[in-house]
Structure 1
């Protein structure tokens, strides 16, 4: 029977009632429960569901175990009542907590249904009496034995089914293993397959988009073809000169570019059209470099403005550059072998073509100030200065070419060139570019240079003749065999002294000087009076020094007759040749005209130096050492010359002295004398070997 058990140990501090019950659980594991660590069962099952095989193997032991369990349950009854009382005091205790205290971890190995069955069975046990509890183990053993027999009978009856089930289980296990391996391989290949699917979807989308684009292209084939043919059409229009249509196409392409600049085909069309536009620009500018008339110029400039390539100032510069290139080509084509022919053709070409260019420019471009102010950040451009600067450049180039050709020498046709240049400047005065005032210095320099060169040559020839001259060849009576003047001399004609024929070097020198005077009178402005006088005075000083050098070289061998002839030589040079040259200068540069130019009375002209006459005292001082000390007869002074000037001027032919009227001064007496000498073959000098230069 059930003996008295010792009282339960007092719970330690920190533990609850459930822990105490769990620590002093009286139930021991019977043969029905699997040992710890045995995983064959895997779950805690209720007693009714246990397989009966193990119970049948050792029934006696199992009965003993059941009895021991019942005894344990009986012995634990007071403890259970104590626990129940404690639970009542603390509140109702959950069945799950009670089961956990009794069976610890064994209960929780089963499922929720098994835990519910055990809990229900335990509740039934708690409501039974002691007698029934005593019979319960036997009933359970019988029920277990009965279930075992039924199970064995079922196993014997359906063993083939169990075998097939086991085979099926093995086969299913193998199939599941194969499926698992295949599934692993599939999982390994899924990323690549996923990427391939994505690529396929992408390609399919692209193909679909291309197909839709192709359908759209097919529907818009005509419009697209017209757009694609724009570059070819543009090139055809430009090469055939249809600039109006070409400009319309260029404007249409610019609109396309603004709308569809991101499309590569449109960009290609725009680039090709730009190349054709550049070709059209070159052709238009090339037309300006040809002989083009004003209407064509207006059309070309209109096209250039519509192209919107240049600003207004740049367009003016381009026009002037193109026309200047055409003008330079014309001037370059003029042959330059003959200076006179070259400068005359240059004057004609510049007068005609340059005037046309100026007319075209003024018809195309306006010199009025622009109405709209310049944009912010832009510097204002003086467009009028562009044209005036170009005209100034062209005039400067013409003056340089004129001076170069005049320096090369144009013979005795300087007056003809002066007249052409004056007419050229007069025609330009109608367009506000009168440059006649700039022609005067050019012709003055050329005339003065030619005169100085001729005077230097006369001095050198005099030097050469004096080197070979001897006083023995002079006649016994100076001027005795020569009449005082040729017959038929016109009144007012300036005759050279006939006494110079007795001394050929002096006659030759005078002839050369008269030739230079005749060349100078073709273009003899009053401004050259001082320069010509100084040049002639320097030449007379050089001649005087040559005479003195001749005297020093020949003085030791002079006879009395030669000494007398030398004195006559010097006297004629001083008293006849020099005064005659002064009279020639007064014919070239009348003192009255010089005084009028200076704005002073003629009586005050002597205050301004030797204007228009040589200072005789300079030559006299040089010859004072070789001339005898005697009273020298000098020509009348300036006052007497000025008093006689109106009479002399009335005897001279009228002439113009200004460059503007293109008149030329006259020395008709000297020129007629030279012409008569050439016709009658009467040289001035007595010595035939010493002819006029």
Structure 2
């Protein structure tokens, strides 16, 4: 059966030249009958089919001729039906074209109706909740009133309520507008609270303000500490800026008082508000920020600023009142030791620099005055009878004083130079750190070297015109300078800087002190060397022996006062005044 089917399919393909056969079951039946015919029958089949085709065509024409009216009516009906269907189709097209706008209009109507219904329901609900809605809408105004009147507790409660509303209804525009207005009022409250910290606020008010700031939750703990210190620092700076700076002494005394009182108050407030106890193990996910270092750094900054102001005012000059300022500064530093910020050790270098600078300036002024005196000095103007028995009016020295050499009264330039140096010594005694021993000695030795050069210049200028008497007077002038003035300066230095105290500070025996250079003793040989050719050999040898005896002097009385000779023009020629200097309670001794 399968083979017969394949043969029939191949036959159909050959007969129709590859085109697919049509005709349905009739064609299949005809092909089945055709397959059963013999060869002769197959030969007659085309003729039979042609005759059958001719008969069918004749019958069709006869049928059409006999019933032509039906065919005409059928054609007319078909035409009319086509035209009707065309009109229907055009009307249907117009209807379909109008349906979408109608549908959209219907949707808009439904939507508008739903919106109107929704608005009606919302209006009804709004009318029913009018009181509650009015309270919410009045929150910004109420918040602003509370902030401007200082009712911060109520303002914080309103801010917390608004934050809860924002979390629940963040998408509602009205709520968002209320949140923005309340946030603006909160910023105003923050500004007012910080501004209160910039005033003379007391500790209870500080505690309240910091409590409000913590509840606002706008700063971390470190930021809150920094904000507090910045605000208090601004207030402290405003007080300090109001101090007049015309008089350096008045300015620095007021600055010391202001810093001691108000800065201590700020420190007390900070320690009462903030705790500097740091956790040994930081919380998970947080860095261990040493918040105590913030306060430590601020205190160091304030101390550094005070020291800068102190040094600036001291450099401007305080009229020889260093001892008073030193006492006030030491009391200031001692008061800060109660809060762990004792800075007295940093005061010593400041006062040392100022004391040394003042002394060096005074010494240079003394040298300049000596130069002026030598320019107008003539040996003729010296007393005619040096060493005469005419008594000189000399005041009785008080016990414990160091009496200046009387012979210097015969030489006004040396007397004036000694007077100026002793004034510098008296000023130095007010604040005389033991650490300045070498610097003071070097400054005095340099000044004496300059004086030596001035004397040599005077000798070179006047040597050719010297008479025998003038040469003798000039030798006595140099002898008084080397044998009386220089040893007297060394005794003054030893009273200002006792060798025993220097040796104790250095931790060495007093006999080894000379190995450490110029510490409270002027190098006489260095100053004497340029004038050696002027002095007689006997006197030069005597001076050298005297210098060697001064290297280890015997302990002298404590320095209670320094007597200063005056120039002949001040109190009359040959007169001498005694200047008393108050003995300070303690001398600032630093290594």
1:610 and 2:518 correspond: yes
- Does structure 1 retain, via aligned residues, the 8 Å contact 2:514–2:551? no
1:682 and 2:571 correspond: yes
Distance between the aligned counterparts of 1:248 and 1:426, measured in 2? Answer: 46
2:12 is matched with which residue? none
Distance between the aligned counterparts of 1:371 and 1:234, measured in 2? Answer: 42
Distance between the aligned counterparts of 1:568 and 1:559, measured in 2? Answer: 14
Match of 2:125 among 216, 238, 258: 216
1:362 and 2:362 correspond: no
Q: How does 1:328-347 map to 2 (within 5 A)?
A: 328-347=237-256
2:185 is matched with which residue? 276
1:398 and 2:306 correspond: yes
1:91 is matched with which residue? none
Distance between the aligned counterparts of 1:20 and 1:442, measured in 2? Answer: 147
Name the SS for the 1:644 alignment partner: coil
1:668 and 2:572 correspond: no
1:417 and 2:306 correspond: no
1:465 is matched with which residue? 373
Distance between the aligned counterparts of 2:137 and 2:495, measured in 1? Answer: 85
| 267-276 vs 335-344, greater mean Cα deviation | 267-276
Distance between the aligned counterparts of 1:580 and 1:485, measured in 2? Answer: 21
Match of 2:232 among 317, 323, 345: 323
Distance between the aligned counterparts of 1:639 and 1:435, measured in 2? Answer: 43
CA deviation after TM superposition for structure 1 residue 257, in Å: 1.1
Q: Which has the higher contact order (CA 8 A, sep 6+)?
A: 2
Name the SS for the 1:668 alignment partner: coil
CA deviation after TM superposition for structure 1 residue 372, in Å: 6.5
Match of 2:464 among 556, 561, 575: 556
CA deviation after TM superposition for structure 1 residue 488, in Å: 3.1
Q: How does 1:490-529 map to 2 (within 5 A)?
A: 490-529=398-437
Mark the CA change 1:18 to 1:278 in structure 2 (over 3 Å): closer, same or farther: farther
Deviations 1:64-109 (A, max 9, x none): xxxxxxxxxxxxxxxxxxxxxxxxxxxxxxxxxxxxxxxxxxxxx9
Deviations 1:546-580 (A, max 9, x none): 00001111111111111111111111111111111
Mark the CA change 1:574 to 1:371 in structure 2 (over 3 Å): closer, same or farther: closer
CA deviation after TM superposition for structure 1 residue 630, in Å: 2.5
CA deviation after TM superposition for structure 1 residue 266, in Å: 1.2
- Does structure 1 retain, via aligned residues, the 8 Å contact 2:351–2:431? yes
Mark the CA change 1:573 to 1:35 in structure 2 (over 3 Å): closer, same or farther: same
Q: RMSD in angstroms over aligned alpha carbons?
A: 3.3
1:597 and 2:490 correspond: no
Name the SS for the 1:630 alignment partner: helix
Distance between the aligned counterparts of 1:364 and 1:245, measured in 2? Answer: 23
CA deviation after TM superposition for structure 1 residue 482, in Å: 6.3
Name the SS for the 1:670 alignment partner: coil
Mark the CA change 1:225 to 1:478 in structure 2 (over 3 Å): closer, same or farther: same
Distance between the aligned counterparts of 2:176 and 2:572, measured in 1? Answer: 91
Name the SS for the 2:571 alignment partner: coil
2:554 is matched with which residue? 644
- Does structure 2 retain, via aligned residues, the 8 Å contact 1:343–1:401? yes
- Does structure 2 retain, via aligned residues, the 8 Å contact 1:518–1:667? no
Distance between the aligned counterparts of 1:255 and 1:520, measured in 2? Answer: 72
CA deviation after TM superposition for structure 1 residue 191, in Å: 3.1
Deviations 1:255-274 (A, max 9, x none): 11111111111111111111
1:623 and 2:531 correspond: yes
1:477 and 2:385 correspond: yes
Distance between the aligned counterparts of 2:317 and 2:270, measured in 1? Answer: 36
Mark the CA change 1:21 to 1:433 in structure 2 (over 3 Å): closer, same or farther: same
1:428 and 2:336 correspond: yes
- Does structure 1 retain, via aligned residues, the 8 Å contact 2:410–2:574? yes
Distance between the aligned counterparts of 1:352 and 1:14, measured in 2? Answer: 142
Mark the CA change 1:368 to 1:13 in structure 2 (over 3 Å): closer, same or farther: farther
1:542 is matched with which residue? 450
Name the SS for the 2:537 alignment partner: coil
Deviations 1:110-155 (A, max 9, x none): xxxxxxxxxxxxxxxxxxxxxxxxxxxxxxxxxxxxxxxxxxxxxx
Q: TM-score, normalised by structure 1?
A: 0.71
Match of 1:259 among 132, 146, 168: 168
Distance between the aligned counterparts of 1:258 and 1:252, measured in 2? Answer: 10
- Does structure 1 retain, via aligned residues, the 8 Å contact 2:525–2:547? no
1:566 is matched with which residue? 474
- Does structure 2 retain, via aligned residues, the 8 Å contact 1:11–1:20? no
1:33 is matched with which residue? 66
Distance between the aligned counterparts of 2:430 and 2:573, measured in 1? Answer: 24
Residue ranges of structure 2 left out of the alignment (5+ in a row): 1-39, 577-591
Mark the CA change 1:225 to 1:20 in structure 2 (over 3 Å): closer, same or farther: farther
- Does structure 1 retain, via aligned residues, the 8 Å contact 2:366–2:417? yes
| 573-582 vs 200-209, greater mean Cα deviation | 200-209
- Does structure 1 retain, via aligned residues, the 8 Å contact 2:499–2:520? yes
Q: TM-score, normalised by structure 2?
A: 0.83
Distance between the aligned counterparts of 1:379 and 1:226, measured in 2? Answer: 44
Name the SS for the 2:245 alignment partner: coil
- Does structure 2 retain, via aligned residues, the 8 Å contact 1:485–1:498? no
- Does structure 1 retain, via aligned residues, the 8 Å contact 2:253–2:325? yes
Match of 1:299 among 185, 194, 208: 208
Mark the CA change 1:631 to 1:19 in structure 2 (over 3 Å): closer, same or farther: farther
1:240 and 2:129 correspond: no
Distance between the aligned counterparts of 1:507 and 1:13, measured in 2? Answer: 177
CA deviation after TM superposition for structure 1 residue 669, in Å: 3.8
Name the SS for the 1:626 alignment partner: coil
Distance between the aligned counterparts of 1:609 and 1:372, measured in 2? Answer: 56
Number of corresponding residues: 530
1:123 is matched with which residue? none
CA deviation after TM superposition for structure 1 residue 644, in Å: 2.2
1:138 is matched with which residue? none
CA deviation after TM superposition for structure 1 residue 489, in Å: 2.2
CA deviation after TM superposition for structure 1 residue 538, in Å: 0.1
Distance between the aligned counterparts of 1:478 and 1:20, measured in 2? Answer: 190
Mark the CA change 1:18 to 1:522 in structure 2 (over 3 Å): closer, same or farther: farther
